[in-house]
Amino acid sequence: MEERRYRSAGGAPIALRRRQHSASCRELAVRCPRLQLCSLSAVTSAVWLAAYGLFALTENSMVLSAAIFVMLIGLIMYLHFVKIDQESLLVIGSLGIQVTSSYASGKESTTFIEMSQVKDVVINEAIHMQKVIYYLCILLQDPRDPQGISEVVPLFQSSKPRLDCLIEVYRSCQEILDQRKTVPQ
């Protein structure tokens, strides 16, 4: 098991952890930076200043308690639905690929794709919000039509690693996927 530091597409530090469970099973996990205290306090003070300004305007003290309430609910929903702590990829040679996202509140969301549907794992580049980014994606095929690509599943959407990290993940996945060709199905 090894862990290496990289940078995300936006410049934030991320860490890639590789674990080899067996000859045909590997787990790659990308850990995103934690919620920063300075950004949290900046947002909190901005919301509370705006609420105080509204209170000075309207003389209604409900605005202040409403602002505290909104702040708490907003923080909980952000941690539970938006802020991703770790994204991991588990490649099992003969079985399939499992993609897991763990949120900051502890929630985990998992997707499993069986090996007969997986055509390849590639690094694709695409235009995303005025930038061209590299991202890793799983190409899915219809098992009855091995030539066509039926779907594209992008991986590591919120941590957005840069090309050096993606190349490491790509090489690890290709070593496992190459075993598919040598072992007859």
Q: Which amino acid is at 55?
A: F
Q: How far apart are CA 132 and CA 156, in angstroms?
A: 16
Task: Please identify which residue in 11, 57, 127, 181 interacts with another protein, judged by CB under 8 A.
Answer: 127
**113 is an interface residue for another protein by CB under 8 A:** no
**148 is an interface residue for another protein by CB under 8 A:** yes
Task: Please identify which residue in 152, 158, 162, 180 interacts with another protein, judged by CB under 8 A.
Answer: 152
**70 is an interface residue for another protein by CB under 8 A:** no
**How many residues bind to another protein according to rule CB under 8 A?**
24
Task: Please identify which residue in 3, 108, 114, 151 interacts with another protein, judged by CB under 8 A.
Answer: 151
Cα–chain-centroid distance for residue 159?
A: 5
**146 is an interface residue for another protein by CB under 8 A:** no
Q: How far apart are CA 173 and CA 120, in angstroms?
A: 9
Q: Is 11 exposed, middle or buried (CB count within 10 Å of its CB: 0-12, 13-18, 19+)?
A: exposed
Residue 146 backbone dihedrals phi, psi, to 5 degrees: -70, -10
Beta strands, E only, the chain: 2-7, 13-22, 25-31, 84-92, 96-103, 108-114, 118-128, 131-140, 151-154
- x/- track of binding to another protein for residues 155-184 (CB under 8 A): --x---------x--xx--x----------
Cβ of residue 99: shortest distance to another protein, in angstroms? 13
DSSP helix/strand/coil, 153: strand
Task: Please identify which residue in 143, 154, 179, 183 interacts with another protein, judged by CB under 8 A.
Answer: 154
Compute, in degrees rounded to 10, the torsion defined by CA atoms 114, 115, 117, 120.
130
**38 is an interface residue for another protein by CB under 8 A:** no
Cβ of residue 129: shortest distance to another protein, in angstroms? 8
Task: Please identify which residue in 124, 131, 143, 183 interacts with another protein, judged by CB under 8 A.
Answer: 124
Q: How far apart are CA 150 and CA 120, in angstroms?
A: 12
The site for another protein (CB under 8 A) is made up of 119-120, 122-124, 126-129, 135, 137, 139, 148-154, 157, 167, 170-171, 174
